[in-house]
Amino acid sequence: MFKIYYHPMSFPSLAPVFTASALGADYQLEFVDLGAGQQSTPEYLAVNPLGKVPAMQEGDFSIGESAAIMRYMARQYESDLYPQEAQAQAKVDQWMDYVNHHIRGPVASVHFNRSLAPLFGVEPDMASLAKGEQMLTSNLPIIETALSKHGYLCGDTMSLADVALVAALDPIEMSKIDISDYKTLSAWRAARRKDTFYTDVHSHYGAEIDL
C-alpha cells in the first residue's frame, strides 16, 4: 500500500495520486497542512527530508519528488506506463522532464501570481507571471505537435509523461490559462479528464476545497 503525502492544491502532488489511480494501486492519501508548516516538522522531515509535498511511503521506505515517486510506483507494478526497455523508458523520462520543467514550472508561476497570491494577500510578481505566460507560449506548441503525431506524448499508449502533463495543466481554469488555440491538446486533455484515473481522484482542480 502506498501512502501518498499530499496537498490537494499542489499539482505536483496530484501527479503521483493520478499515477496510483492509473495503476489501480492500493493507496491512501495523507493530507499535509502546508499552511500550518507541517512540511517542516521533524515528523514530516523524517518521511521526506526535502520538506515538500508530495512524498510516498511504502512500509519502511519513503521518498519525495513527484517524478521519482511515479517511477517507483510504476516499477513496482511493472506497468507499461513506464516501459522497461531502455529506449522506450528514456523517451518517457524525456517527456516527463520536459513537462515538469517547461510546462508545470511556468503554469506554477502564472497560477501562484494570478490565483494564489491574491488569496494569500501576497503582492503578485508580475514579471514572473509574464515570464510564465511567455514560456507557455513557447513550450505548448511542442506538446501540441507531439500529441498531433501520436495519441499520447510517447506513442499510442499512455505513459507517466501523460499523467505528468494532466497534473501540470490541472489548475489552468483557476489560473485562467487559455489553451484553446491548441486544438489537439485541448481535446486530449478533455478526454483524459474523463478517464477513470482522473475521475476516481477528483472532478476538477480545487474540488477538494469546494472551489
Would you count residue 56 as binding ligand GSH (CB under 6 A)? no
Strand partners, 28: 3
Cα torsion through 71, 158, 100, 175, rounded to 10: -130
- Site for ligand GSH (CB under 6 A): how many residues? 10
Q: Smaller CB distance to ligand GSH: residue 51 or 118? A: 51
Q: Smaller CB distance to ligand GSH: residue 113 or 182? A: 113
| Cβ at position 51, least distance to ligand GSH in Å | 6
Q: Smaller CB distance to ligand GSH: residue 118 or 141? A: 118
- On whether the CB atoms of residues 210 and 31 are closer than 8 A, the answer is no
Q: Smaller CB distance to ligand GSH: residue 34 or 179? A: 34
- For cell 489548475, the residue is 171
- Closest C-alpha to 111, from 5, 1, 210, 12: 12
Would you count residue 52 as binding ligand GSH (CB under 6 A)? yes
Residues 58-117 that bind ligand GSH (CB under 6 A): 65-66
Beta strand pairing status for 55-58 and 61-64? antiparallel
Tell me the window of 47-55, 73-81, 120-128, 180-188 that interacts with ligand GSH (CB under 6 A): 47-55
Q: Smaller CB distance to ligand GSH: residue 37 or 141? A: 37
Neighbouring CB atoms inside 10 A of 122's CB total: 11
| Angstrom distance (rounded) from CA 159 to CA 171 | 21
C-alpha triplet 89, 18, 160: angle, nearest 5°: 10
Pick from 39, 79, 113, 175: which binds ligand GSH (CB under 6 A)?
A: 39
- Cα 176 to Cα 88, 107, 129, 203, distances in angstroms: 34, 10, 12, 18
Pick from 17, 18, 54, 168: which binds ligand GSH (CB under 6 A)?
A: 54
| Cβ at position 106, least distance to ligand GSH in Å | 14
- Cα 26 to Cα 1, 62, 96, distances in angstroms: 5, 16, 23
Pick from 14, 53, 103, 163: which binds ligand GSH (CB under 6 A)?
A: 53
Pick from 4, 6, 8, 10: which binds ligand GSH (CB under 6 A)?
A: 10
- Supply φ then ψ for residue 4, to 5 degrees: -105, 115
Binding site for ligand GSH (CB under 6 A): 10, 12, 34, 39, 51-54, 65-66
